[in-house]
Chain A
């Protein structure tokens, strides 16, 4: 596998392999070993044309723990913001010698264009393209769910997960629906009708407008960030009404099953889609998701970059 552009690039076995590798790497990281020589000599470029501190730092930490060299290219103040095309930026970075590019971009499909047109050689890893996909986020979410609820199984069969909020504009939702259902979980999308895309009936998930009836039936609730701008674009009347119907507050949290967990890809709008005391509660694994993110991204980099093409094997 050369690129990770979408969850569709993975089979269930591939995904489980990444989760298992991440589990092993987590154990190594928890122990004394903080740095592994595995990707020494490789150069990984973070091409972040859209602002993101947390994902970029996560990929950077992952790359550095594998001893890779990291070059950061962010949009603000760069030639990209001055009108240089993505193509020219990519070819410039390629000329500097990049083994892999981790790209975040505001245009859906930007990662695929980078990979297909081969403006750069090496692997392309999609760190979030527009409203299309965010595969590493889904993998770290699946990792987190498996760790807390998996009961030792390799996949997520039998688990029920709710994804709540602005599904229409969420790349996290799209990747998670694909991955969680591929791993055997039941996914239910909860949102106001205006924030569900036309065509969502074809997705491998069920739909509900009624958050309260869904809460007791699920093992995990994944809250999506709701942007303030959605109000002016007529998606819902105001934040008060949104929180009243779709916000995860303490009353709703008390309806959750005893073992159920609360997740959020971040950054959170405390008080809008999630109450502060819910975010800080014992059920919340939001902070742990960040740690898991580094391990999962190390696993992704390992799987894409450590091996080479098939050759007649060496010996031990």
Chain B
């Protein structure tokens, strides 16, 4: 916790009226029309939007095992650059995060880096193999206090395994985050199955492979009365099923990535694997459905699925390349472009989709308190009047696989505060000593 006091002057808090906000002893001390404090560092935020610190429920930190593409420390810095104060480390590391030992290691690495809270996600099954449950209880009771369990990267495809997992996590107030991909329908798949894939000669990943798993799992969650979360929804059909499920009171939540709110499968025509991602980019019909679903709350949150990859796994033929895009640093600007500028969400709703709601799903008690006085000072500031051009050579992440290189994005994240410390000032990450 920092001793430093900050006075944020004149920003539009949650997109509302301009106000001053005082940070002291790591907490939000005061929010009112005009504050003066002679000990505080003053930051002029006129014209900017003040949001609660963003919480990512789906991040690939790659450590342990693939530190050549990203580490907990470098991802934390990238998170700060994007306005995040909490990241959720997916379990598909090497070794897999299926024991208390690995999740505690990841948790401690996050604490040491000190830029964000890193909440490890535990694997549902041992080794992500989809057969035996992993040590869910041990991980839940560990220092890392894991509540979100996911085999992401892989689908928990066996219905019996999924049923048992949903039942078992009820004891630990957990949630199963499912990567919905029926493996038998997607063997060797490279991109969305449709008109574009038929022309390009790339094997298709049909939408029903996602929809069929979502349909099965919402019915399972209903039957056993447990919490289900659907990772990276990409299909209009998937959205419809989730809407139906919620109307029946099923405890399902869902996320969408920023790239699926903007990009479509015709980008694959260049055969540039920077657009290769799992689940794949789909059609404009799907993009429209996803935006509407995020607007009406059928999709609860935005999660980045930040997936760093080294350049040799992207600088090659499509079929050889890895799946995934980085996304922490561009997420809020993309949401601004696709949802705020189009009038589908206001900033208060963005705060819900990117901070309050994800924190609630993950049971991250210290986050998502929505800029209330007395809460920990996790704050994100975005200036919507400034646009910026994405340059893959200037990213903070260790990997450069961003699909937006050369794009001009509206809205620049300028400041991030984590527990009252400034982790980013004037769009530059503040490197500092570990706690």
Contacts and interface: CB of A to CB of B under 8 A. Distances in A.
Touch between chains A and B, by CB atoms below 8 Å: yes
B316 A108 contact: no
Interface string A109-135: 110110011000000000001111100
Interface stretch (A26-34, A155-163, A197-205): A197-205
A218 interface: no
A116 B272 contact: yes
A107 B198 contact: no
A109 B316 contact: no
B198 A112 contact: no
Given A112-B270, A132-B201, A171-B201, A198 B206 contact: yes
A113 B271 contact: yes
A198 B194 contact: yes
Interface in B276-328: 312, 315-320
Interface string A73-109: 0000000000001110000000000000000011111
Contact of A130 (B193, B194, B199, B319): B319
Given A87-B315, A87-B316, A109-B318, A198 B204 contact: yes
B197 interface: yes
Contacts of A130: 201-202, 319
A124 to B, nearest CB: 13
B201 A133 contact: yes
Interface string A160-197: 00000000000100100000000000000000000001
A108 B203 CA distance: 10
B158 to A, nearest CB: 21
Contacts of B42: none
Contacts of A199: 193-199
A109 B202 contact: yes
A19 B200 CA distance: 25
Contacts, number: 73
A197 B197 contact: yes
Given A109-B271, A112-B270, A198-B204, A174 B316 contact: no
Nearest to B206: A198
Interface in A198-226: 198-200, 202-203
Contact of A108 (B270, B312, B315, B318): B318
Interface string B197-237: 11111101010000000000000000000000000000000
Nearest to B317: A107
A174 B195 CA distance: 13
B318 to A, nearest CB: 5
Contacts of B206: 198
A129 B320 CA distance: 13
Given A108-B201, A112-B271, A116-B270, A198 B320 contact: no
A197 B198 contact: yes
A197 B200 CA distance: 11
B194 A113 contact: no
Nearest to A110: B317
A197 B203 CA distance: 9
Interface residues of A, number: 26
Contacts of A129: 201
B13 to A, nearest CB: 47
A180 B317 CA distance: 28
A86 B314 CA distance: 12
Nearest to A119: B315
Given A109-B271, A112-B271, A132 B200 contact: yes
Candidate in B199, B318, B320 with the most chain A CB atoms within 10 angstroms: B199
B370 to A, nearest CB: 45
A41 B315 CA distance: 32
Contacts of A112: 270-271
A200 B316 contact: no
A85 B316 contact: yes
A85 B312 contact: yes
B200 A113 contact: no
B198 to A, nearest CB: 3
A171 B196 CA distance: 15
B317 A198 contact: no
Interface string A50-65: 0000000000000000
B201 A174 contact: yes
Given A113-B271, A116-B272, A86 B317 contact: yes
Contacts of A108: 200-202, 271, 318-319
B193 A109 contact: no
Contacts of A109: 200-202, 271, 317-319
A85 B319 CA distance: 13
A107 B319 contact: yes
B392 to A, nearest CB: 14
Interface in B180-201: 193-201
Interface string B32-55: 000000000000000000000000
Interface string B155-199: 000000000000000000000000000000000000001111111
A306 B316 CA distance: 30
B212 to A, nearest CB: 16
A131 B190 CA distance: 13
A274 to B, nearest CB: 23
Interface in B258-274: 270-272
Contacts of B195: 199, 202
A234 B341 CA distance: 48
Contact of B201 (A86, A116, A131): A131
A117 B318 CA distance: 13
B12 to A, nearest CB: 44
Nearest to A200: B198
Given A87-B316, A109-B318, A198 B200 contact: no
B195 to A, nearest CB: 4
B378 to A, nearest CB: 42
A131 B198 CA distance: 9
7 contacts: A85-B315, A109-B200, A109-B271, A109-B317, A113-B316, A198-B194, A200-B198
Given A131-B201, A203-B199, 8 more contacts: A85-B315, A107-B318, A109-B271, A110-B317, A113-B271, A198-B193, A199-B196, A203-B198
Interface of A: 85-87, 105-110, 112-113, 116-117, 129-133, 171, 174, 197-200, 202-203
Leading 9 A-B pairs by shortest Cβ distance: A109-B271, A132-B201, A199-B198, A107-B317, A131-B201, A197-B198, A199-B195, A108-B201, A107-B319
